[in-house]
């Protein structure tokens, strides 16, 4: 069979032939794990709002993961925040490498959601209002709550 004939085969037939030729080595090899989609969506803060990580394409995810990792390694005052964002973005990069155009479904905050298709320029979302407890996943404040933490007196 020539290269052109092999390239013209249906992918399922071609993969079967490749397996038959390489089966002696493949039989003892465990199947690699397939990354599962992240359960929770993440927000990447931008000027004026945020992007959902689920709606970013692979190149954007890789770029921002690298930037956040560099920020975490710099030791700046935002290093801890950058490290957390980089770890979250790394999960998205791993999944998006195998599924570059798949629409993600999962949990955003406390609700189930399905993302838009991945894009180089996903829509910029507004940050939830401070009083919008549902968007932050926190219980709604009581009417008596002025937003300040309770002060405690210490006596020594």
* Sequential pLDDT tens for the chain (156 residues): 898 998 999 999 999 999 888 888 888 888 888 899 999 999 999 889 999 999 999 999 999 999 999 999 998 899 999 999 999 999 999 999 999 999 999 999 889 999 999 999 999 999 988 766 555 444 444 444 444 444 444 343
Residues 72, 93 share a domain: yes
- The structure tokens 């004939």 sit at 5
For residue 130, the number of C-alpha atoms closer than 13 Å in the C-beta half-sphere is 2
Q: Do 55 and 18 share a structural domain?
A: no
What are the tokens at 35? 């990354």
Are 50 and 83 found together in one domain? Answer: yes
Q: Are residues 54 and 111 in the same domain?
A: yes
What pLDDT score was predicted for residue 32? 86
* 109, part of any domain: yes
Phi then psi dihedrals of residue 78, to 5 deg: -100, 10
C-alpha to C-alpha distances, 117 to 7, 30, 41, 58, 151, nearest whole angstrom: 30, 32, 14, 12, 47
Nearest to 121 by CA among 42, 35, 44: 44
CA atoms of 17 and 23, how far apart (whole Å): 10
**Which pLDDT does position 37 carry in this prediction?**
94
Please give the Cα distance from 67 to 59 (Å, whole number).
Answer: 12
Structure-token match 């919008």, residue found: 132
pLDDT given at position 82: 94
What span, in angstroms and rounded, lies between the C-alpha atoms of 97 and 101?
9
Tell me whether residue 63 is in a domain: yes
pLDDT, position 132: 61
- One domain, residues 118 and 64: yes
CA distance 155 to 24: 76
Q: Residue 6 domain-assigned?
A: yes
Both 87 and 55 in one domain: the answer is: yes
26 and 65, same domain (yes or no): no
Q: Is residue 111 part of a domain?
A: yes
- Please tell me whether the overall predicted TM-score, pTM, comes out greater than 0.75 for this model: no
- Total domains in the chain come to 2
**Residues 74, 120 within the same domain:** yes
Q: Is residue 70 domain-shared with residue 123, that is, in the same domain?
A: yes
Domain of residue 55, residue span: 43-128
Q: Is residue 135 within 8 Å of 109, Cβ to Cβ?
A: yes
């Amino acid at each position: 069979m020539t290269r052109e004939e092999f390239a013209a085969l249906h992918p399922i037939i071609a993969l079967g032939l490749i397996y038959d030729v390489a089966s002696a080595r493949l039989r003892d090899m465990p199947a690699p794990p397939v990354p599962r989609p992240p359960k929770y969506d993440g927000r990447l803060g931008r000027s004026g709002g945020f992007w959902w990580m689920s709606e970013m394409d692979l190149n954007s995810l890789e770029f921002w993961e690298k930037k956040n990792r560099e920020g975490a390694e710099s030791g700046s005052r935002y290093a801890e925040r950058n490290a957390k964002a980089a770890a979250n973005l790394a999960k998205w990069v791993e999944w998006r490498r195998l599924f570059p155009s798949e629409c993600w479904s999962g949990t955003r905050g406390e609700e189930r959601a399905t993302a838009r298709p991945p894009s180089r320029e996903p829509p910029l979302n507004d940050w939830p209002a401070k009083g919008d407890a549902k968007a932050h996943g926190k219980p709604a404040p009581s009417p008596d709550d002025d937003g300040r933490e309770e002060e405690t007196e210490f006596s020594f």
